[in-house]
Amino acid sequence: MKAWHFIFVFASGLAVGVMLFPLARMIESRGINSFLDGIVRMLAIPFSFVRNVARGKTAAAREAGQKCDQTNTPRVDPREQQLDDTAQVIRGMLLSLAAAIQRTDKAASDSTQALDDIRGTLDQMALPGDLKDIHFLLLGEIDRMISSNCSLKSELVHSREVLSTQREQIESLKTAVRIDGMTQLANRAFFEEKLTEVTRLNERYRDTFSLLLIDVDNFKKINDSYGHQGGDRVLKGVGFKIKSSLRHTDFVARFGGDEFAVILIKAPVESAAEIARKLCGEIEESRFILDGNEIRTTLSIGVAEAESGENEDSLLKRADMALYQVKQGGRNGVSVAVKKQQTRTEPSTM
């Protein structure tokens, strides 16, 4: 082998050593995982904060959202929207980190292969006596770098596992803040996300679904008579009975104040109206005991089936108009919204 070939191989080995030495030092100090853990802990702070805020805002939302005899619906809490936006950004960052780890893993594998080739070439070289010491030193450095590469690949596997765990934890935190703290049902933000999802499925595949907007009748009187704690207990009981009366595939949310919303998957309007009447009957027959006092209440329910090409706002408006018809007609009943914004009222027969 010519002298310039040896110089080239020797320089390549030194260059690889220079690049991998800092990385090997970082591996030895477990710098990658410490860095990743620090980033994920920092990114999880907004979720923990918003979750705590969401738990504390129930009382204020209840007092501001009492609207038993009103048809206006509450606005989505901007903190929940910000949380959802933050979650999207964090998921993107974690995916980028995972992709970087994968690229580094591939680079480590390629580097190991290149070092093996260089080592094989050096072993075959017939060097003069005065270069043999350098020869053995270079082989030792290559062996050390190959060992560092093996350690790097092991650390990268562990880092991928850490990222996977942290992604699951962030998803759990995101789910926690989408749940209403008092009723343990989905909250308004989660409901609107689900409504958008099923609306898109309806547009693409014509997957029929219906929407129920449910109002607890005369709830203000319960609060005035038994206080907000008593009212909360009644709302919990009503929410539990609604959820337990529906299929596992249906979606129940606390819409705001004393209102609930239900998305009935693959349910045409006739089936949805029958389910609504059943809910009215079950709540009317229920008894809620507060400090030895028996409380009874009823429901008013507006029903609307999603029409082809209809957006979420239009569907909500039709269901809300149907609910208003029931309340205008004396409450404790079901009203079905039909096409072209027309409604027909079906008083409860219970």
Q: Which of 91-105, 155-169, 250-264 has maximum average pLDDT?
A: 250-264
CB 141 within 8 A of CB 119: no
Output the six-digit token pair for 171. Answer: 């998803």
Among 5-14, 138-147, 169-178, 236-245, name the one with the lowest average pLDDT: 5-14
Three-class secondary structure assignment of the chain = CCHHHHHHHHHHHHHHHHHHHHHHHHHHCCHHHHHHHHHHHHHHHHHHHHHHHHHHCHHHHHHHHCCCCCCCCCCCCHHHHHHHHHHHHHHHHHHHHHHHHHHHHHHHHHHHHHHHHHHHHHHHCCCCHHHHHHHHHHHHHHHHHHHHHHHHHHHHHHHHHHHHHHHHHHHHHHHHCCECCCCCCECHHHHHHHHHHHHHHHHHHCCCEEEEEEEECCHHHHHHHHHHHHHHHHHHHHHHHHHHCCCCCCEEEEEECCEEEEEEECCCHHHHHHHHHHHHHHHHHCCEEECCEEECCCEEEEEEECCCCCCHHHHHHHHHHHHHHHHHCCCCEEEEECHHHCEEEEECCC
The CATH architecture one would assign to domain 188-347 is 2-Layer Sandwich (3.30)
How crowded is residue 3: how many other Cβ atoms within 10 Å of its Cβ?
9
Output the six-digit token pair for 5. Answer: 């070939």
User: What average pLDDT does the segment 144-168 reach?
Assistant: 72
CB neighbour class for 13 (10 Å; exposed up to 12, middle 13-18, buried from 19): buried
Distance CA 337, CA 301 (A): 11
Q: What is the pLDDT of residue 160?
A: 72
User: What average pLDDT does the segment 102-107 reach?
Assistant: 70
Among 90-104, 199-213, 294-308, name the one with the lowest average pLDDT: 90-104
pLDDT at residue 255 tops 90? yes
Greater confidence (217 vs 90) lies with: 217
Measured in whole angstroms, the distance separating CA 172 from the mean position of its chain's CA atoms is: 7
Give the CA count within 13 Å in the CB-facing half-sphere of 144: 17
Note the pLDDT tens digit of each residue in 296-312.
999 999 999 999 889 99
Does this model's pTM top 0.75? no
Phi then psi for residue 13, to 5 deg, are -60, -45
User: What are the boundaries of each domain within the chain?
Assistant: 3-176, 188-347
> Sign of the CA dihedral 81, 85, 90, 95?
positive
User: What average pLDDT does the segment 222-240 reach?
Assistant: 92
Which residues does residue 304 pair with via DSSP β-bridges, in sequence order? 211, 337
Among 133-137, 236-240, 319-323, name the one with the lowest average pLDDT: 133-137
Q: Which of 2-11, 286-295, 329-338 has maximum average pLDDT?
A: 329-338
